[in-house]
Amino acid sequence: MKKKLLFMLALVVTLLVGWGATSTTAQAATDNSLARVQKKGTLVMGTSPDYPPYEFQATVHGKSKIVGMDVAVGQKIAKGLGVKLVVKSMSFDSLLVALQTGKVDMVISGMNPTPARKKNVDFTHLYYQGGYSIVVNKSEKGLYKDKDSFKGKTIGAQTGSTMYNESKKQTTDTKVKGMTSVSDLILALQSHKLAGVAMEKPSAQAYVANNKQLAMIPSHFNLSASDTSAAVAFKKGSTSLVTAANKSVDQIRKQDLVNKDYLPAAGKYLKTNTVNTSMWHYWKAFLTGVKYTLIITVCSVFFGFILGVLLSLARMAKGGVIKTALRWLATAYVEFIRGTPMMVQVMFVYFGLGLIVNLPALTSGIIAISLNSGAYIAEYIRGGINSVDDGQTEAARSLGLTNTATLRYVVLPQALKNIWPSLGNEFITLIKDSSIVSIIGVSELIFQSNIVRSDTYRGVAPIAVIMVLYFIMTFTASRILNYFERRMQHD
Ligand code: ARG
């Protein structure tokens, strides 16, 4: 039995790995990238909007929007191709994965075309040269001169960025801490968890201009020109698309559009950005977050319950070959899901399944969480059914009820009473754990709070707000569930 279970697991893993491997090698045989984008009519740009003036969130006519010079570059390229630009926000370290798995058509995110990246994606010509700086607390500015002044201290850099790698390579006795978002790094700096944050000079200037408590110093990193210049990334092998995009990029360079036009325009947004930083001002964003959190939770518990019932029945199936196979499959599934982190599952559904069918982030999130929840719910149900006394089944059977009828009318209703509290717990857990889907860009509560944080440059207040909102949701849910639990005890 154990051996067979192991075999099943090995099979599942082999299939998954094999699938991943073939899907990356199969690409780029023929290059129809340009034709594909033009047929589709949209050019989807992936970016990490925590990097003013390159890209950042700003409130335009009461709506949060991604703006910045990179968006202008994207618009110019899209116009050159005769298609519409769609901007998709995600964390910097998942941008290239999103590109490779076809979630976005191009990445513009102040990204430097380093040799390592060039191995995996294709870059256009350079559109802008930045250079590195280090942001410090103004009160400590006197202590630091450049990258060599941080001995015994910790500096921060965005995970997956060139600053992160260079800070590791080019400093001694300095700890380098990586975080997913630059806004978080700034927060950590202000609460003195970090002594400095390395980033591109224009970005450093933007953060300093927006926050009186910050200052900047030169980095004096030893860098090549392409390490400090930004280019647009496309999927490996999309030569036709890169060639077409290069026409716009060359124009941008030749007419110096970034300095003359895109940067001043971005600067205007930066100023309007800090006008109203009250949390009340953002109630709509928080409300959207609550809405999506609840949608994800309700859908996932619903589908998870259906899956859970099926799985638990399969796990309890006894008899012929098919039933035994079903039992093994269900057991392998439950073990596999419970043995891997939900975060990995969410990324797998979004990026992995995405290679076959292109699902939107929200759908992917609901699928992943339902699949995950189903495995747990299956165990609750199995436990609940097992807890119903055997005498009940025997009595029902001797009264002439069929197996199915016994299960449906006698066992399941009693089991449900036992399962209800665990099911309620699962619901409450999912309200909190659904926050994981923010990594694939679903606009749930955490995602919204990140937007508000980068919009207002305020770190703690949005976190406090969502903490209260999460509590209100879980507390209300647990009251409601308790009420039904008590009602059920009475019947
Ligand atoms: N230029 C650096 C890099 O290519 C950092 C870019 C960060 N961009 C951003 N949108 N956060 O790694």
The chain-wide mean pLDDT, for the chain, equals 90
CA 139 – ligand 1 centroid, Å: 27
Nearest to 479 by CA among 428, 413, 419: 428
Exposed, middle or buried, 166 (CB in 10 Å: 0-12/13-18/19+)? buried
CA 376 – ligand 1 centroid, Å: 39
CA 109 – ligand 1 centroid, Å: 6
Q: Tell me the pLDDT band of 16, cut-offs 50, 70 and 90.
A: low
* Closest atom of ligand 1 to CA, residue 49: 10
Look at residue 334 in the predicted model and tell me its pLDDT: 96
Q: Which residues contact 360 (CB under 8 A, 6 or more apart)?
A: none
Look at residue 5 in the predicted model and tell me its pLDDT: 54
Residue identifier of the C-alpha nearest atom 4 of ligand 1: 111
Does residue 27 have a pLDDT over 60?
A: no
Residues 229-288 pLDDT 10s = 999 999 999 999 999 999 999 999 999 999 999 999 998 888 655 556 788 888 988 999
Residue identifier of the C-alpha nearest atom 1 of ligand 1: 111
Residues 453-487 pLDDT 10s = 877 777 788 999 999 999 999 999 999 999 988 88
Residue identifier of the C-alpha nearest atom 12 of ligand 1: 161
Ligand 1, residues at Cβ distance < 6 Å: 48, 50-51, 54-55, 92, 109-112, 158, 161-162, 182, 200
Instruction: Read off the pTM.
Output: 0.80
Please report the domains of the chain, with CATH numbers, ordered by start residue.
2-129+228-275 (3.40.190.10), 132-222 (3.40.190.10), 281-490 (1.10.3720.10)
Residues 294-312 pLDDT 10s = 999 999 999 999 999 999 9
Nearest to 128 by CA among 23, 17, 256: 256
Look at residue 203 in the predicted model and tell me its pLDDT: 94
CA 424 – ligand 1 centroid, Å: 42
Evaluate whether 410 touches 419 at the Cβ level (below 8 Å).
Answer: no
* Closest atom of ligand 1 to CA, residue 230: 1
Residues 79-93 pLDDT 10s = 999 999 999 999 999
CA 488 – ligand 1 centroid, Å: 55
Q: Phi then psi for 184, rounded to 5 degrees?
A: -65, -40
Nearest to 194 by CA among 144, 236, 234, 241: 144
Residues 409-462 pLDDT 10s = 998 888 888 898 999 999 999 999 999 998 888 889 998 998 888 777 777 889
Q: Tell me the pLDDT band of 12, cut-offs 50, 70 and 90.
A: low
Mutate to test the pocket of ligand 1, among 70, 117, 158 (most ligand atoms within 8 A of CB): 158
Tokens representing residue 9 in the block: 């697991």
Look at residue 200 in the predicted model and tell me its pLDDT: 96
Look at residue 212 in the predicted model and tell me its pLDDT: 86
Q: In what order do the strands lie in the sheet with 42-47?
A: 84-89, 42-47, 106-107, 229-235, 121-129
